[in-house]
């Protein structure tokens, strides 16, 4: 379908949703349509030809992602070009570049305080460099994802500066108040995202004598999407980015983009209307670009951001619930947590991003009801996980830090690299070979847990070489209060240089991760996974999944979440129709499901095909 056909196809829905948000604003809708037409007519032919296959690329079983900070990985965009060979060797086909748009001067929340949505952060290059880099990666079959921070701008964005100078038009782009009466009313039902470093949700602007809503840091001003001009401008910026040829846009902090007094201003119904509009506009104007939603909220709430077939929202979402269950099961060695996760039906054109670590902390968003049914006290269990990954429990293998510890509620999240949280750091410190071996197995298992599931695996750069926590952020005034910098550090190219010759732990991790990716691509990868279910069986330390590919092949994944030997009783698989001789594709073993039981060693896992 071309632009006109898509427009005809989607405009009824688009108008319906638009007028629900902006009743009676025919004028504003007309302006929006003109904007869309303008973008379409200036869109390059090369992109229009990419548009023909739409978002198909996203669902290709080959799509494997990594996220990285350009400055930390390669200093700048030009040098990033030189490293495409590294990604090809690893088997990466999608790179999420952490915030690259021009951030605020000074402290900027790792780039999530954007001053200009149409310029590149000058520390890493120019728009010209970005386009060159994009072209290079596209020519190498690698797609690029960038961040679009929709909830807020930096306090030195042009709109904010105009608002500060007294321009009422731009004051209406934000939530500004003459005094603290309304902010106080809002606060009664609001939570705090950064209770320690940025308490409260409003900031007093001395120069202006007004209050402004700042859900995150005080220098991140919340945009007011109740104003159709804001929606218009943010669509304009979005289409600007899609017209450069960016393949995926990560929409930051989406649960927060609509505020209603008396609520917690999260996950409001209007957010879904806004996202539905973004999706339709993308489908019409830039169908090759996909939306990745970042909604790190309760499991049942995250999944809603895919939308429904009749009103689709994000193409993909972070599977934060699964991420949390990975760490939960690794700490408890109890696979029931992960096995009893709710399985969701999602629209056919939706896809989860599976991952274990990212640039943020791990927030323990567990399903409290389920924990209670399992006999755990959710509060006590969360405290256990916090202490476990801090490493303060005596038998914890983990090294991490607390993030946003709240002394009033004793609540916290955890920071740390995958390898350090999985025990590598402690093992090295103690020079304990046995612990080292276990840590390496754990790192491998964690990667396998998200690499082989249905969806797009997303690595966090540095984890593939087992980088450890880095304390140098404590010396930087702009970073020292934000422990997420513990796991945001320069990529260790020295380790990579020796990866093939040396026998270091880092080279072991690299080879191990690379082999898993290769397996996914070669043995599993050629046929997309159509169906996936968790297999119920009686060994509480085992996590078993069955998958069916589009070619109707069966895959059985069996993970031992503990460092003890475990047995799987094959008669329990019979009710799923499993029997016969299977081939384990990583180790090349044969697995006979007609035998009474099969044994798995410490943290061992099988990826088996009939
Ligand atoms: C996101 O995270 C980014 O990933 C963070 O790096 C930013 O600091 C933040 O937005 C502000 O731009 O609260 O602890 O439900 O959980 O958006 C991280 C979504 C966050 C929020 C998430 C936010």
Give the model confidence (pLDDT) of 503-548 as tens digits: 899 999 999 999 999 999 887 765 688 899 999 999 999 999 999 9
* Ligand 1 centroid to residue 240 C-alpha, Å: 23
Mutation test residue for ligand 1: of 69, 112, 220, 300, the one with most atoms within 8 Å of CB: 112
CA distance 173 to 227: 7
* Ligand 1 centroid to residue 253 C-alpha, Å: 5
* Ligand 1 centroid to residue 359 C-alpha, Å: 10
- Please give the pLDDT value at position 527: 66
Which phi-psi region, left, alpha or beta, contains residue 469 (left: φ > 0; alpha: ψ -120 to 50)? beta
* Ligand 1 centroid to residue 252 C-alpha, Å: 7
Ligand 1 atom with the shortest distance to the CA of 255: 15
CB atoms within 10 A of CB 90: 17
- Angle CA 269–271–276, to nearest 5: 105
What's the 3-state SS for 311-334?
A: EECCCEEECHHHHHHHHHHHHHCC
* Ligand 1 centroid to residue 112 C-alpha, Å: 8
pLDDT at 319 over 80: yes
CA distance 193 to 175: 18
DSSP annotation of 99 reads -
The candidate with the shortest Cα–Cα distance to 290, out of 456, 127, 154, is: 456
* Ligand 1 centroid to residue 29 C-alpha, Å: 30
Q: How high does pLDDT run on average in the chain? A: 95
Mutation test residue for ligand 1: of 112, 190, 253, the one with most atoms within 8 Å of CB: 253
- Please give the pLDDT value at position 410: 83
Mutation test residue for ligand 1: of 117, 151, 193, the one with most atoms within 8 Å of CB: 193
Structure tokens at 180: 């603290």
Give me the mean pLDDT over the 590-600 stretch: 95
- Please give the pLDDT value at position 526: 59
- Please give the pLDDT value at position 119: 98
Q: What is the pLDDT of residues 212-268, one digit of tens each?
A: 999 999 999 999 999 999 999 999 999 999 999 999 999 999 999 999 999 999 999
* Ligand 1 centroid to residue 259 C-alpha, Å: 17
Ligand 1 atom with the shortest distance to the CA of 253: 17
* Ligand 1 centroid to residue 600 C-alpha, Å: 38
Question: Cα dist. 305→234, 317, 347, 369, 500 in Å?
Answer: 19, 7, 11, 22, 42
- Please give the pLDDT value at position 499: 84
pLDDT at 164 over 90: yes
Using only C-alpha atoms, the chain has a radius of gyration, in whole angstroms, of 24
- Please give the pLDDT value at position 575: 86
Ligand 1 atom with the shortest distance to the CA of 109: 8
Question: Cα dist. 308→4, 276, 317 in Å?
Answer: 24, 10, 14
In the chain, where the domains are located: 529-609
* Ligand 1 centroid to residue 559 C-alpha, Å: 31
**Residue nearest atom 7 in ligand 1 by C-alpha distance:** 112
DSSP annotation of 523 reads I
Confidence of residue 399 (pLDDT cuts 50, 70, 90): very high
193 in ligand 1 pocket by Cβ < 6 Å? Answer: yes
Give this prediction's pTM.
Answer: 0.97
Of the chain, the percentage scoring pLDDT greater than 70 comes to 100
The candidate with the shortest Cα–Cα distance to 354, out of 436, 448, 469, 247, is: 448
Strands 605-609 and 554-560 come out as: antiparallel
Give me the mean pLDDT over the 438-460 stretch: 97
CB distance 456 to 63 below 8 Å: yes
Mutation test residue for ligand 1: of 192, 194, 296, 488, the one with most atoms within 8 Å of CB: 296
As a CATH number, domain 529-609 is: 2.60.40.1180
- Angle CA 71–360–326, to nearest 5: 125
Ligand 1 atom with the shortest distance to the CA of 149: 12
- Please give the pLDDT value at position 556: 95
113 in ligand 1 pocket by Cβ < 6 Å? Answer: no
112 in ligand 1 pocket by Cβ < 6 Å? Answer: yes
**Residue nearest atom 1 in ligand 1 by C-alpha distance:** 253
Question: Cα dist. 342→299, 321, 450 in Å?
Answer: 8, 10, 16
Of the chain, the percentage scoring pLDDT greater than 90 comes to 90
């Amino acid at each position: 379908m071309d632009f006109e056909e898509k427009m005809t196809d989607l405009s009824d829905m688009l108008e319906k949703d638009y007028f629900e948000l902006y009743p009676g604003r025919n004028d504003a809708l007309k302006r929006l349509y003109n904007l869309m037409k303008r973008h379409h007519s200036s869109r390059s032919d090369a992109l229009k030809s990419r548009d023909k296959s739409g978002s198909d690329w996203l669902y290709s079983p080959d799509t494997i992602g990594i996220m990285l900070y350009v400055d930390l990985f390669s200093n700048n965009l030009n040098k990033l070009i030189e490293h495409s060979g590294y990604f090809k060797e690893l088997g990466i086909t999608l790179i999420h570049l952490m915030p690259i748009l021009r951030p605020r001067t000074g402290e900027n929340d790792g780039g999530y305080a954007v001053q200009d949505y149409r310029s590149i952060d000058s520390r890493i290059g120019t728009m010209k460099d970005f386009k060159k880099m994009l072209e290079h990666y596209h020519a190498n079959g690698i797609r690029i994802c960038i961040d679009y921070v929709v909830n807020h701008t930096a306090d030195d964005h042009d709109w904010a500066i105009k608002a500060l100078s007294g321009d009422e038009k731009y004051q209406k782009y934000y939530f500004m108040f003459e005094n603290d009466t309304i902010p106080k009313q809002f606060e009664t039902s609001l939570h705090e995202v950064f209770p320690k470093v940025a308490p409260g949700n409003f900031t007093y602007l001395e120069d202006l004598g007004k209050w402004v809503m700042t859900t995150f840091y005080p220098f991140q001003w919340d945009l007011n999407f109740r104003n159709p001009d804001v929606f218009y401008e943010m669509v304009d910026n979005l289409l600007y980015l899609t017209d450069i040829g960016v393949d995926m846009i990560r929409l930051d902090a989406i649960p927060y983009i609509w505020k209603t007094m008396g609520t917690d201003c999260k996950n409001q119904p209007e957010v879904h209307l806004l996202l539905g509009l973004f999706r339709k506009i993308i489908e019409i104007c830039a169908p090759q670009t996909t939306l990745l939603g970042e909604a790190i909220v309760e499991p049942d709430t995250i999944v809603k951001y895919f939308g429904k077939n009749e009103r689709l929202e994000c193409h993909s979402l972070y599977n934060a619930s699964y991420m949390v269950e990975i760490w939960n099961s690794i700490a408890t060695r109890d696979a029931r947590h992960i096995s009893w996760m709710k399985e969701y039906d999602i629209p056919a054109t939706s896809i989860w991003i599976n991952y274990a670590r990212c640039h943020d902390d791990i927030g323990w968003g567990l399903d409290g009801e389920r924990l209670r049914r399992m006999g755990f006290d959710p509060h006590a269990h969360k405290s256990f996980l916090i202490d476990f990954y801090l490493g303060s429990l005596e038998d914890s293998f983990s090294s991490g830090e607390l993030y946003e510890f709240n002394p009033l509620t004793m609540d916290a999240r955890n920071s740390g690299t995958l390898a350090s949280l999985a025990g590598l750091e402690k093992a090295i410190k103690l020079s304990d070979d046995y612990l080292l071996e276990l840590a390496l197995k754990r790192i491998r298992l964690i990667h396998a847990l998200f690499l082989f599931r249905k969806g797009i695996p997303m690595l966090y750069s540095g984890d593939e070489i087992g980088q450890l926590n880095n304390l140098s952020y404590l010396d930087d005034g702009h970073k020292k209060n934000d422990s997420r910098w513990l796991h945001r550090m320069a990529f260790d190219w020295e380790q990579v240089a020796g990866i093939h010759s040396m026998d270091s732990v880092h080279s072991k991790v690299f080879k191990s991760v690379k082999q898993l990716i290769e397996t996914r691509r070669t043995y599993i990868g050629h046929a997309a996974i159509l169906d996936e279910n968790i297999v119920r069986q009686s060994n509480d330390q085992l996590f078993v999944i069955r998958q069916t590919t589009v070619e109707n092949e069966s895959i059985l994944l069996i993970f031992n979440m503990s460092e003890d030997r475990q047995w799987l009783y094959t008669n329990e698989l019979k009710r799923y129709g499993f029997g016969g001789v299977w081939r384990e594709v990583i180790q090349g073993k044969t697995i006979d499901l007609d035998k009474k039981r099969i044994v798995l060693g410490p943290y061992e896992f099988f990826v088996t095909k009939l």
